[in-house]
Structure 1
Amino acid sequence: MSVREIRLFGDPVLKTVSDEVAEIDERTRGLIADLLDTVQVPGRAGVAASQIGVNLRAFSYNVDGQIGYIINPVIEELSGEPEMVDEGCLSVPGLWFPTRRYPFARARGIDLDGNAIEVSGTGVLAQALQHETDHLDGLLYLDRLEKPERREAMRQVRESKWF
């Protein structure tokens, strides 16, 4: 399929709760192919469907050579002591801020054959599972920042060349 353009902060689709994928059809297969192509651009750990302008619950991930996708993801488990980790987002280019994330995450969903799948991990994969699921719930990582960091982030967004 193709590498799709990433929607940027301010695009309403990024603040919209995504709909469940009701049917695995050619549109869904094309979406997953595009998500997989788009996440393989160097420097990308995950891409949610909303980031490419599609209001459906699906995302792809690319962490430590593990590339995959999940349709209708639900976070089943978050564990460990939440910690502050540097986080950025393709939809908020050039900004990195400490964000509270759990060190372990497990998500369940389905694949293109409708089979139940589970993706779990620690570190960057755990962070990506949380980050991409947030996108599908209409949240950006900026929404999770502490008040002083969020204020600074919004200042930097307003001053950025892309905004």
Structure 2
Amino acid sequence: MILPIVAYGAPVLRAMAKDISADYADLPKLIEDMWETMYASNGVGLAAPQINRAIRLFVVDSTQIFEGMDASELAEHPDAPGIKRVFINAHIEKLDGELWSYNEGCLSIPKIREDVWREETVLLRYCDENFVEKTELFEGITARVILHEYDHIDGKLFIDHLKPLKRKLLKGKLDDISKGKIRVDYKMMFSK
């Protein structure tokens, strides 16, 4: 089932999400719905707070970013061909590498894209959809997508990484999004 994406301004997007247990109600169905929602919205990642659940769960499919690249382009990306993965109860163990800039957007903040600086690698401890605990190192664009979704479960948004002046310049657009004054081709939920 395709779920509505929570728009900027909703309190759930600023809440610190909680860890869940393997017996979380209808977890397999929720994960399936998150994949369906993410693909229907043309996203490469989706976090539970974006569907109005304050839990530490997100999905990532960075393989889409590499589709259509030729061999020389793929060779420039150490994380190619990407991953398709479920992350439950994720916690960062270590951030490392040079900060690098990449133009990011967010399904909860439609039609706004900005350059965001993030670390090259992230060592992440998490559980997969079967609650098998893993600690894994991710790099490149895949690490960036993970860090973007990880921010959501910590109550942060990509705009929080921008300089104050840039955020101030976006205020009008952000206010419009929170009031529902935006048109997108996927279902959204707006705060009253």
Q: Same fold (TM over 0.5)?
A: yes
Counterpart CA distance in 1 for 2:21 and 2:160 is 28
Matched, 1:86 2:85: no
1:152 pairs, out of 169, 179, 183, with 169
Per-residue CA deviation, residues 47-95 of structure 1 (Å, 9 max, x unaligned), is: 0000001111000001025322110011122211112221111100000
Alpha-carbon contact 1:106-1:126 (below 8 Å) kept: no
Structure 1, unaligned runs of 5 or more: none
Per-residue CA deviation, residues 111-141 of structure 1 (Å, 9 max, x unaligned), is: 2322113454322211111111110011111
C-alpha displacement of 1:31? 1.8
Distance of aligned partners of 1:42 and 1:7 in 2 relative to their CA distance in 1, 3 Å threshold: closer
**TM-score, normalized by length of structure 2?**
0.76
Matched, 1:73 2:84: no
Counterpart CA distance in 1 for 2:10 and 2:109 is 11
Alpha-carbon contact 1:36-1:69 (below 8 Å) kept: no
Structure 2, unaligned runs of 5 or more: 65-82, 183-189
Matched, 1:20 2:19: yes
C-alpha displacement of 1:156? 2.4
Question: Counterpart of 2:61 in 1: which secondary structure?
Answer: strand
The total of aligned residue pairs comes to 162
Per-residue CA deviation, residues 11-68 of structure 1 (Å, 9 max, x unaligned), is: 1111111111133344222222222222233631110000001111000001025322
Counterpart CA distance in 2 for 1:128 and 1:95 is 16
Alpha-carbon contact 1:35-1:60 (below 8 Å) kept: yes
Moved more, 9-18 or 109-118: 109-118
Counterpart CA distance in 2 for 1:10 and 1:83 is 28
1:100 pairs, out of 109, 112, 117, with 117
Structure whose alpha-carbon radius of gyration is higher: 2
2:57 aligned partner: 58
RMSD: 1.9
Question: Counterpart of 1:22 in 2: which secondary structure?
Answer: coil
Alpha-carbon contact 1:16-1:138 (below 8 Å) kept: yes
Counterpart CA distance in 2 for 1:147 and 1:73 is 29
Which residue identity is paired with 2:120? P
Counterpart CA distance in 1 for 2:116 and 2:171 is 15
Which residue identity is paired with 1:38? T
Q: Relative contact order, CA 8 A, sep 6+: which one is greater?
A: 2
